Structure 1
Amino acid sequence: MIDLRRLHVLRAVSHYGTVTAAARALHFTPSAASQQIRQLARDLGVDLLEPQGRGVRLTPAAESLLAHADAIAARWDEAELELRAGEGEPAGPLRVAGFPVAVAVLLAPMAARLRSRYPRVSVRVREVEVVESFDLLFEGEADLAVVEATPSSPPASDARFDQRPLLDEPFDLVVPEGHPLAGRDGADLADVAREPWIAPLPESPCRTHVMSACGAAGFTPDVVHHAVDWNVTAHLIAHGLGVALIPRLARLTPHLPIVRVPCAGRPHRKLLTCTRSGGHRRPAVAVALEELRSLAAAAVA
Structure 2
Amino acid sequence: MIDLRRLHVLRAVAHYGTVTAAARALHFTTSAASQQIRQLARDLDVDLLEPQGRGVRLTPAAQSLLAHADAIQARWEQAELDLRADHGSPAGVLRTSGFPVAVSVLLAPAAARLRALHPRLSVRIQEAGVPESFDLLFEGEIDLAVVEATPQNPPLADERFDQQPLLDDPFDLVVPEDHPLAGRERVDLADAAHEDWIAPVPESPCRPHVMSACGGAGFSPNVVHHALDWNVTAHLVAHRLGVALIPRLAQLTPHLPITRVGCTGDPHRKLLTCTRGGAAQRPAVVAVLRELRMVAHTAVA
Q: TM-score, normalised by structure 2?
A: 0.99
Distance, in Å, in 1 between the alignment partners of 2:110 and 2:30 is: 39
Q: Any residues of structure 2 matched to 1:134-145 within 5 Å, and which?
A: 134-145=134-145
Superposed CA deviations along residues 202-244 of structure 1, whole A, max 9, x for unmatched, are: 1111100000000000000000000000000000000000000
1:221 aligned residue: 221
Q: Distance in 1 between matches of 2:64 and 2:226?
A: 44
Provide the rounded CA distance (Å) in 1 between the counterparts of 2:124 and 2:32: 32
Quick one: distance in 2 between partners of 1:76 and 1:272?
23
1:36 aligns with 2:29: no
CA distance in 2, matches of 1:263, 1:294: 25
Equivalents in 2 of 1:53, 1:280: separation in Å? Answer: 40
Aligned to 2:7: 7
Give me the whole-angstrom Cα distance separating, in 2, the residues matched to 1:252 and 1:289.
Answer: 26
Helix, strand or coil at the partner of 1:13: helix
CA distance in 2, matches of 1:291, 1:2: 40
Amino acid corresponding to residue 255 of structure 2 in structure 1: H
Structure 2: stretches of 5+ with no match in the other structure: none
Aligned pair count reads 301
| Distance (whole Å) between structure 2 residues aligned to residue 279 and residue 112 of structure 1 | 22
Alignment partner, residue 146 of structure 1: 146
Structure 1 alignment gaps of length 5 or more: none
Counterpart in the other structure of 2:183: 183
Measured in 2, the distance between the counterparts of 1:203 and 1:90 equals 38
1: CA distance, partners of 2:139 / 2:189:
42
The offset of 1:101, in angstroms, is 0.4
Report the Cα distance in structure 2 between the residues aligned to 1:195 and 1:298, rounded to whole angstroms.
32
Written as runs of structure 1 = structure 2, the 5 A alignment for 1:231-250 is 231-250=231-250
Matched with 1:158 is 158
Instruction: Tell me by how many angstroms 1:107 deviates.
Output: 0.3
2: CA distance between counterparts of 1:245 and 1:144? 28
Deviation at 1:300, TM superposition (A): 1.4
**Structure 1: which amino acid aligns with 2:131?**
V
Which residue number corresponds to residue 288 of structure 1? Answer: 288
Following superposition, the deviation at residue 150 of structure 1 comes to 0.2
Structure 1 distance, partners of 2:279, 2:78, is 8
Secondary structure of the 1:275 match is strand
| One-letter code aligned to 2:56 | V
Alpha-carbon distance between aligned partners in 1 of 2:245 and 2:275, rounded to the nearest angstrom: 30
Counterpart amino acid of residue 49 in structure 2:
L
1:280 is paired with a residue of what secondary structure? coil
Paired residue type of 1:6: R
What is the one-letter code of the residue matched to 1:132? E
Q: Could you tell me how far apart the structure 1 residues matched to 2:192 and 2:120 are?
A: 52
Partner of 2:211: 211
Letter in 2 for 1:265: G
Percent of aligned pairs with the same amino acid: 78
Instruction: Show CA shifts across 1:3-32 (max 9, x none).
Output: 000000000000000000000000000000
